Amino acid sequence: MHILIITQYLEPENFRINDLALELRDSGHDVTVLTGIPNYPAGKIFSGYGFFRRMQQNYNGIRIIRAPLIPRGRGGRLRLFMNYLSFAISASVFGPLRCRGKYDLIFVYEPSPITVGIPALVLKVIKRVPIMFWVLDLWPESLSATGAIRSTRILAWVSKLTQLIYRHCDRILVSSPGFVSRIEAQGVKPEKILYFPNWAEELFLEDESNSIIERNEKLPDGFLIMFAGNIGAAQDFGTILTAAEQLRNYEDIHWVILGDGRRYDWMCKQIQSRELSHVIHMLGHFPLEAMPGFFAKSDVMLVILRKDPIFSITIPGKVQSYLAYGKPIIAALEGEGARVVEEAGAGISCPAENPDALANAVLSIYNTSASDRNVMAQRGRRYYETTFERKLLLTRLESWIHELVLVSDSGSL
């Protein structure tokens, strides 16, 4: 079967849609991807790409069609709006022109923004095929929670756009059980909503002796609390700073931050002004392949989100990576993400936006024996294998795809 994936992000950007596209190809499907010009997370177009360069590629047997977009820059509100809108418009124009031939299904990957659904609706009308839409970020709730948009008028407009897109999708996949009621509230029938969580890339399950690590001389000696991911408004770095201040006299406790994002520069300035450079280490962005090597050097992994109803129903994708690799976890968040860590017995959870609780959680893990921490890690790995294992989930997805295409062909949608 011929599957058209629509996503604003794709290789060489690190998103799980890369893994999904390759898995569908390995399962014997013909896969085409309509995507944008790579520019995440730095906000600059990747070297070797441009508005007229490498607009069509072959990625390990997958046909890639790129639509022009305005790079996200430093992630300011106006620049992000231009980035999102430019892809939605250009993909709606270039998609019908370049995505020739017959397709059986349109699969939409939506970690954000919801506007990625616009070209999908255009192509659905033209190609007359069903849409399967994977929601990893709820709009407009996430816009409000991060403070990206405060205007009630704009949020109402985004809500109407979201309803339009959801109601014209034939199946909606959600990355957290907590998303279901929110999707239903947008007028979607319950039978069209399916729970499909994230998984971890296979490299997190491999022998750590094969791991790559870059610039490891920058890793300090001592007890390492490691965060890997986006450094943005949703992640509560203010709480990390205050907790680190409380523990600054424990000179062997170090906070290692891997990643980039809108608040990277702010975080660096805060570390300097609070004189925390000896305990908080900002190492920057690294390729996905380097992550297992860094994880191997950590003592505990940290996942953290701000306190907000939308974040309490979210399971951050890094949770699956931490579980799969087999490291104890501190979950400084509410709701679904904390539930997973607690249910797995993989670490300690503490309330969001509570520096005292985070500092206490760090001390608790710090004072736990290495053997007990290893037990936590093993529990997390076993939980991952029974709940989030990649082959298990992708086999389930493929069965849903076949079912939807059969229903569509029979005219029952």
Same fold yes or no, 2-199+389-409 and 202-387: yes
- Tell me what the mean pLDDT of segment 257-262 comes to: 92
Owner of token pair 């297992």: 292
259: helix, strand or coil: coil
pLDDT of residue 262: 86
pLDDT in tens, 11-62: 999 899 999 999 999 999 999 999 999 999 889 999 999 988 899 999 999 9
pLDDT of residue 75: 80
Q: What's the CA gap between 397 and 379, in Å, rounded? A: 26
pLDDT of residue 74: 82
| Bridge partner residues of 409 (DSSP) | none
pLDDT of residue 84: 96
How is residue 323 written in tokens?
A: 């579980």
CATH architecture of 202-387: 3-Layer(aba) Sandwich (3.40)
Q: What's the CA gap between 407 and 228, in Å, rounded? A: 41
Which pLDDT band holds residue 76 (cuts at 50, 70, 90)?
confident
Q: What's the CA gap between 58 and 7, in Å, rounded? A: 16
Q: What's the CA gap between 310 and 257, in Å, rounded? A: 24
Name the strands in the sheet holding 30-36, side by side, starting at the edge strand that comes first in the sequence: 56-59, 62-67, 30-36, 2-6, 105-110, 131-135, 171-174, 193-195
pLDDT of residue 209: 47
Burial 206-233 (b: 16+ CB within 10 A, else e): eeeeebebeeeeebbeeebbbbbbbbbb
Residue 355 parent element (H or E): helix 355-366
Q: What's the CA gap between 168 and 53, in Å, rounded? A: 34
- Tell me what the mean pLDDT of segment 217-229 comes to: 90
Locate all alpha helices (DSSP H) within 138-219, ordered by sequence: 141-146, 152-167, 179-184
For residue 283, with 0-12 CB atoms within 10 Å meaning exposed, 13-18 middle and 19 or more buried, which class applies? Answer: middle
Tell me what the pLDDT averaged over the chain comes to. Answer: 93
Question: Domain ranges in the chain?
Answer: 2-199+389-409, 202-387
Q: Rounding to the nearest 10 degrees, give the CA dihedral for residues 69, 257, 239, 337.
A: 70
pLDDT of residue 145: 81
pLDDT of residue 206: 78
pLDDT of residue 225: 98
Residues in contact with 380: Cβ distance below 8 Å, sequence separation at least 6, in sequence order = 322, 323, 326, 327, 328, 329, 341, 344, 345, 346, 347
Which pLDDT band holds residue 210 (cuts at 50, 70, 90)?
low
**pTM for this model (two decimals):** 0.89
- Tell me what the mean pLDDT of segment 334-347 comes to: 96
Which pLDDT band holds residue 137 (cuts at 50, 70, 90)?
very high
- Is the pLDDT reported for residue 213 higher than 70? no
pLDDT in tens, 345-363: 999 999 999 999 999 999 9
* Assigned CATH class of 2-199+389-409: alpha beta
Q: Contact at 8 Å (CB) between 413 and 378?
A: no
Q: What's the CA gap between 312 and 293, in Å, rounded? A: 30
- Tell me what the mean pLDDT of segment 204-230 comes to: 76
pLDDT in tens, 151-164: 889 999 999 999 99
- Is the pLDDT reported for residue 208 higher than 90? no
What distance, in Å, lies between the first and last C-alpha atoms of the chain?
19
266: helix, strand or coil: helix
pLDDT of residue 147: 78
Q: What's the CA gap between 397 and 399, in Å, rounded? A: 5
- Is the pLDDT reported for residue 171 higher than 90? yes
pLDDT of residue 41: 85
Owner of token pair 């406790």: 253
pLDDT in tens, 78-122: 999 999 999 999 999 999 999 998 999 999 999 989 999 999 999
pLDDT in tens, 362-398: 999 999 999 999 999 999 999 999 999 999 999 999 9
